Chain A
Amino acid sequence: MPTIKLHVNGRTHAIQIDDPATPLLWVLRDALELTGTKYGCGIGQCGACTVHVDGVAVRSCSMPISAIGNKAVTTIEGLSRDGRHPLQLAWQTLDVPQCGYCQAGQIMHAAAFLEHNPNPSDDDITRAMSGNLCRCGTYPRIHAAIKHAIATSEPASHE
């Protein structure tokens, strides 16, 4: 069984893997027990599995583990040291989640987006977030919480 190295949330793991085509999602969930990253559709349609690979938001359900190489993976568990990323705080203040299942993906996508576009317009936010599905219908509060996070965070607090 081949062994691969994977850098996740600042740690390096050696993982034995049967099939190098295994998507990153299942390695995170089943091998590393990082279950904050969710399965939703398996075809990159819903965004529940969104993680950062070298700071870029990717759909981990559709990214084979063999394609990661030395790149650094960040999951929701590693977004901030203490759960106090401005988006995580804004999600609490504005009481965003309902069932909460899609929210890790929403937050990870929003975090990568704000890194590249710290002062987005309302339409920019809507465009950026329209790839992430929420069956409970929390879209208006997700939108508002992203604006709240921008308004309340110092630029330096983005990690």
Chain B
Amino acid sequence: MNRRDFLASSAWAAGALVVSWRASGAELSVSKHPGGETPLGDFVRIAPDGSVLYHFTKHEMGQGVATAMAQVLCEELCADWERVKIEFPLVDLARYENDRYGGYGTGGSCTLIYTYDMLREAGATVRQMLIGAAARLWNTKPEECYAENHHVLHRRSSRRLSFGELAPTAAELPIPTGVKLKEERAFETIGQPKPAKLIPQIVTGTLEYGIDIRIPGMQYALIARCPVFKGKLKRYDATEALKVNGVRKVFTTQPIAGLQFVSFLPHDIREGVVVLANSFWAALKGREALEVEWDEGENARYSSEDFERIAAEHAMQRTDPTGFIGDENAVADVARVRKTLRASYVYPHQLHSCMETLNCTAHVRANECELWLGTQSAGLVVSEVARLLDLPTENVKLHMLPSGGGFGRRAYTDMAVEAAYISREAGNVPVKMMWTREDDQQCNLVHLFQHLEYEAALDEENRVYALHEKEVRTYTWAARYADPSLPRMAYDIPNLRYDFENLGAEELLQSSAWRGVDAHGRALSECFIDEIAAELKQDPLAFRLSLLKPGREVYIGGDLTLSSDRMRALLTFVAEKAGYTTSLPKGRGMGMVLCPYATSYCCAIADVTVTDGKLRINKITAAIDCGRVINPSGAQQQVVGGIVWSLTALLYGGAPVKNGRVQHSNLHENRLLRMNECPPIEAHLMESPETRPLGLGEMAAPLAVPAVLNAIYAATGKRIRKIPLPEDLRAG
């Protein structure tokens, strides 16, 4: 019996008629299902009124994938978009957690890359079954019928039946294989700017995020966490806390602190003391009344400046290259090199500041656990909570909800582990564990720290003979070093070298993934390219184009190559849209960045004026080549949003540490860009030679920092090599 037979017959044994699309192997199975809605594949149920319910298997956190994925399915299904509804599922690892389609994991801008083919095939298969149902009812051949706008029509008569009418018959048919996909030029839904499906709920306050969940008998938990990373709890006194009306229990999280889970995303949970109460407010007041003494440990002796100095020292140390092309020591080749340039850039830690603060609701019962959570890593959440509670994974039920921003932070599992632990320790009561904004700013995971050390060598003819990039970083997932293992650029430079050092062991904060991840620091090579152009007294645009030789596929390590043609086209396009020129009045300048992120490319030109030492960003013009665009409206939002993201980092971002403690306590100190600080942003979607979606959500996030830094140089002749910008440069 092959796997497909096994799935089908086991489903039969369950006694329901379900046509199931097995994402794990792109397999289908059939089973019986009593009345009501007719399931046609795991992704699709069709109600008697014809509503198509799309079963969404990724995490929606504002990046728009729920809508985009539904569009792909809708396209092949030939459904009426207005009648497609998105439902958020209970996680089923056996069915969906797999490598081929990335399972539930949502990150790395990979969702549509992984699921595009699967969704098209699923939609086309269900369409073919509905056609088959019509053929059976009309006693004709399927070839005589076709699907259009939520109906199946007969080619040679006026007969038509709606999807709702056909679904029960369709569910009884064998599942077709090798179904024909639509011709891309016939696409009607893919490529259309559809407003996001969840907006009607968002604008009426009825979309349920994790933080909105209510369970009967639910209690509220806040944790006083050690303010210094890797510090320990010395003692606590709960006497006053327990006097607060509504406070039920106080206990520690020591047993889960520092647990090392077997995880792709390693991270420490800080030690702390839980205050459990019958309301959020009582838990907050209880926590304020709690007396806690910490053993802050070694990290309390250090501040950001100490760490930055350590990173700079490592950057200057000689290391073996991670990757190189040509001669690894070309920069020091005195016979060939006329002049060398050197520069250090720093992209410091950043906070995610998701508008919905972290939270998880958990209810541990005798032999199972139920969780309500917005998470980018449903698979890891289930397996780690199962490990904590010593339960089989199928006994951990996870309701996956949309979240108010993920940005990489919700890829980590700590909130689920904390909540499940608290629910169990409190005596198996349902618990909503919340982080306040202060917790979020002061005790959180942060964007990895990057120090980039660049060196370039010019030869006698003023050609760029060699470029050497050394990166000192605090985070690498489980890998020894990072890919790409060469400078992330497509410039034709004969000798290229990249060195890497991981400073994770010495960091003062727990580093993590932050929208764009390592691309932020690596994009600063575009500032160094600008420095080389300035040294050679060349226009930065012409200089870049001269180094982007047409027709090259440039290998940058791992399995990544960059297309010099796509990058040339993008840069030329943005320069035209931005009206790029160097003939500008004194104090005004334009600066550019050309940024590859995996297989998509982004480019931006910032136009700034510096008057009396105050920066004004007149406009940012950007474009993306991300392959096929599923939803131009959502895609445009992701580019604009990415630029706003990096403007916050440029102007205000950071998590400065003094004596081990993050200095910012809330959003009045860790400022986020506001509307009055948001410059005009023009975001274009460039027509791509690629026919598949290639990733979008993180592409634009690195853009604003290098573009504006280069524009400031063009306006003032001053190089800034570290963010955030000096306070005196910021307007207002």
Q: Is B285 an interface residue (CB 8 A)?
A: yes
User: Is B204 a contact of A133 with CB atoms below 8 Å?
Assistant: no
Q: Is B405 an interface residue (CB 8 A)?
A: yes
Contact bitstring A86-97, B, C-beta under 8 A = 1, else 0: 011001111111
Asked if A142 meets B203 with Cβ closer than 8 Å, knowing A30-B279, A45-B666, the reply is no
Q: Give which listed residue, B195, B220, B356, contacts A95 with CB less than 8 A.
A: B195
User: Is B637 a contact of A95 with CB atoms below 8 Å?
Assistant: yes
Q: How many Å from the CB of B445 to the closest CB on chain A?
A: 16
Q: Is A118 an interface residue (CB 8 A)?
A: no
Most chain A Cβ neighbours within 10 Å, of B404, B643, B668:
B404
Contacts of A30 in B (CB 8 A): 220, 279-281
Q: Is B21 an interface residue (CB 8 A)?
A: no
Of A15-23, A52-60, A151-159, which stretch is located at the interface? A15-23
Q: Give which listed residue, B199, B404, B633, B678, contacts A91 with CB less than 8 A.
A: B199
Contact bitstring A1-27, B, C-beta under 8 A = 1, else 0: 000000000000000001100110010
Q: Is B706 an interface residue (CB 8 A)?
A: no
Contacts of A100 in B (CB 8 A): 62, 198-199, 202, 207, 402, 404
Q: Is B686 an interface residue (CB 8 A)?
A: no
Q: Is B645 an interface residue (CB 8 A)?
A: yes
A37 to B687, CA, bound (A): 40
Contact bitstring A34-76, B, C-beta under 8 A = 1, else 0: 1111111111011010000000000000000000000000011
Chain B 412-456 interface residues, beta-carbon cutoff 8 Å to A: 436-438
Q: Is A147 an interface residue (CB 8 A)?
A: no
Contacts of A132 in B (CB 8 A): 675
User: Is B355 a contact of A26 with CB atoms below 8 Å?
Assistant: no
Chain A 81-125 interface residues, beta-carbon cutoff 8 Å to B: 83, 87-88, 91-104, 107
User: Is B666 a contact of A41 with CB atoms below 8 Å?
Assistant: yes
Q: Is B521 an interface residue (CB 8 A)?
A: no
Asked if A33 meets B355 with Cβ closer than 8 Å, knowing A18-B245, A23-B281, A98-B64, the reply is no
Contacts of B208 in A (CB 8 A): 35
Asked if A137 meets B641 with Cβ closer than 8 Å, knowing A76-B205, A77-B206, A129-B675, the reply is yes
Contacts of B402 in A (CB 8 A): 99-100
A132 to B206, CA, bound (A): 20
Q: Is B211 an interface residue (CB 8 A)?
A: yes
Q: Give which listed residue, B206, B220, B667, contacts A133 with CB less than 8 A.
A: B667
Q: Is B63 an interface residue (CB 8 A)?
A: yes
Q: Identify whether the interface residues of B are mostly helix, strand, loop, or mixed.
A: loop
Most chain A Cβ neighbours within 10 Å, of B199, B203, B357:
B203
User: Is B640 a contact of A35 with CB atoms below 8 Å?
Assistant: no
User: Is A99 a contact of B674 with CB atoms below 8 Å?
Assistant: no
A126 to B677, CA, bound (A): 9
Q: Is B541 an interface residue (CB 8 A)?
A: no
Contact bitstring B276-298, A, C-beta under 8 A = 1, else 0: 00011110010000000000000
Q: Is B634 an interface residue (CB 8 A)?
A: yes
User: Is A95 a contact of B675 with CB atoms below 8 Å?
Assistant: no
How many B residues are at the interface, by size bracket? 35 or more
Q: Which residue of chain A lies nearest to B214 when distances are taken between CB atoms in the complex?
A: A33
Contacts of B675 in A (CB 8 A): 126, 129-130, 132, 139, 142-143
Q: Which residue of chain A lies nearest to B218 when distances are taken between CB atoms in the complex?
A: A30
Contacts of A91 in B (CB 8 A): 199, 202-203
Q: How many Å from the CB of A8 to the closest CB on chain B?
A: 13
User: Is B356 a contact of A38 with CB atoms below 8 Å?
Assistant: yes
A96 to B634, CA, bound (A): 9
User: Is B666 a contact of A95 with CB atoms below 8 Å?
Assistant: no
A107 to B201, CA, bound (A): 13
User: Is A139 a contact of B678 with CB atoms below 8 Å?
Assistant: yes
Q: How many Å from the CB of B303 to the closest CB on chain A?
A: 25
A36 to B209, CA, bound (A): 10
Q: How many Å from the CB of A108 to the closest CB on chain B?
A: 9
Asked if A136 meets B405 with Cβ closer than 8 Å, knowing A98-B64, A127-B676, A141-B637, the reply is yes
Contact bitstring B227-248, A, C-beta under 8 A = 1, else 0: 0000000000000000001100
Chain B 458-509 interface residues, beta-carbon cutoff 8 Å to A: none
Contacts of B667 in A (CB 8 A): 40-41, 43, 45-46, 133
Asked if A41 meets B437 with Cβ closer than 8 Å, knowing A139-B675, A142-B675, the reply is yes
Asked if A98 meets B62 with Cβ closer than 8 Å, knowing A40-B437, A46-B355, A104-B205, the reply is yes
A41 to B207, CA, bound (A): 20
Q: Give which listed residue, A23, A34, A95, A133, contacts B674 with CB less than 8 A.
A: A133
Q: Is B547 an interface residue (CB 8 A)?
A: no
Q: Which residue of chain A lies nearest to B683 when distances are taken between CB atoms in the complex?
A: A140
User: Is A37 a contact of B205 with CB atoms below 8 Å?
Assistant: yes
Contacts of B207 in A (CB 8 A): 100
User: Is A138 a contact of B405 with CB atoms below 8 Å?
Assistant: no
Q: Is B605 an interface residue (CB 8 A)?
A: no
User: Is B355 a contact of A38 with CB atoms below 8 Å?
Assistant: yes
Contacts of A37 in B (CB 8 A): 205
A45 to B666, CA, bound (A): 9
A94 to B195, CA, bound (A): 7
User: Is A22 a contact of B281 with CB atoms below 8 Å?
Assistant: yes
User: Is B195 a contact of A133 with CB atoms below 8 Å?
Assistant: no
User: Is B196 a contact of A18 with CB atoms below 8 Å?
Assistant: no
Q: How many Å from the CB of B541 to the closest CB on chain A?
A: 26
User: Is B285 a contact of A19 with CB atoms below 8 Å?
Assistant: yes
User: Is B404 a contact of A38 with CB atoms below 8 Å?
Assistant: yes
A83 to B204, CA, bound (A): 6
User: Is A92 a contact of B199 with CB atoms below 8 Å?
Assistant: yes
Q: Is B696 an interface residue (CB 8 A)?
A: no
Contacts of B674 in A (CB 8 A): 130-131, 133, 139
User: Is B676 a contact of A35 with CB atoms below 8 Å?
Assistant: no
Chain B 177-212 interface residues, beta-carbon cutoff 8 Å to A: 193-196, 198-200, 202-209, 211-212
Q: How many Å from the CB of B200 to the closest CB on chain A?
A: 6
Q: How many Å from the CB of B443 to the closest CB on chain A?
A: 15
Q: Which residue of chain A lies nearest to B209 when distances are taken between CB atoms in the complex?
A: A101
Contact bitstring B631-673, A, C-beta under 8 A = 1, else 0: 0011001101111110000000000000000000011100011
Contacts of B202 in A (CB 8 A): 91, 97, 100, 103-104
Q: Give which listed residue, B206, B637, B680, contacts A36 with CB less than 8 A.
A: B206
Q: How many Å from the CB of A156 to the closest CB on chain B?
A: 21
Q: Is B681 an interface residue (CB 8 A)?
A: yes
Q: How many Å from the CB of B666 to the closest CB on chain A?
A: 5
Q: Give which listed residue, A34, A41, A101, A126, contacts B676 with CB less than 8 A.
A: A126
Q: Is B353 an interface residue (CB 8 A)?
A: yes
Contacts of A22 in B (CB 8 A): 279, 281
User: Is A35 a contact of B212 with CB atoms below 8 Å?
Assistant: yes
Contacts of A92 in B (CB 8 A): 195, 199-200, 203
User: Is A43 a contact of B668 with CB atoms below 8 Å?
Assistant: yes
User: Is B204 a contact of A130 with CB atoms below 8 Å?
Assistant: no
Contacts of B406 in A (CB 8 A): 99
Q: Which residue of chain A lies nearest to B440 when distances are taken between CB atoms in the complex?
A: A41
Contacts of B220 in A (CB 8 A): 30
Q: Give which listed residue, A23, A48, A140, contacts B355 with CB less than 8 A.
A: A48
A30 to B676, CA, bound (A): 33
Q: Is B11 an interface residue (CB 8 A)?
A: no
Asked if A42 meets B436 with Cβ closer than 8 Å, knowing A26-B279, A37-B205, A135-B354, the reply is yes
Residue numbers of A with Cβ under 8 A of B are 18-19, 22-23, 26, 29-30, 33-43, 45-46, 48, 75-77, 79, 83, 87-88, 91-104, 107, 126-127, 129-143
- Known contacts A46-B355, A95-B194, A135-B672; 20 additional CB pairs below 8 A are A18-B279, A18-B281, A39-B211, A40-B357, A43-B666, A77-B205, A91-B199, A92-B195, A92-B203, A93-B195, A96-B199, A98-B196, A100-B199, A101-B355, A101-B356, A102-B404, A130-B676, A135-B645, A141-B637, A143-B675
A sample of 28 cross-chain residue pairs with beta-carbon separation below 8 angstroms, ordered by A number, consists of A18-B246, A23-B281, A30-B281, A35-B211, A42-B438, A42-B666, A43-B666, A95-B194, A95-B196, A97-B196, A97-B198, A97-B199, A97-B202, A97-B203, A99-B61, A99-B404, A100-B62, A100-B202, A100-B404, A130-B675, A135-B354, A135-B405, A135-B645, A136-B405, A136-B637, A136-B644, A139-B673, A141-B640
Q: Which 3 A-B pairs have the closest CB atoms?
A: A36-B205, A101-B404, A137-B644
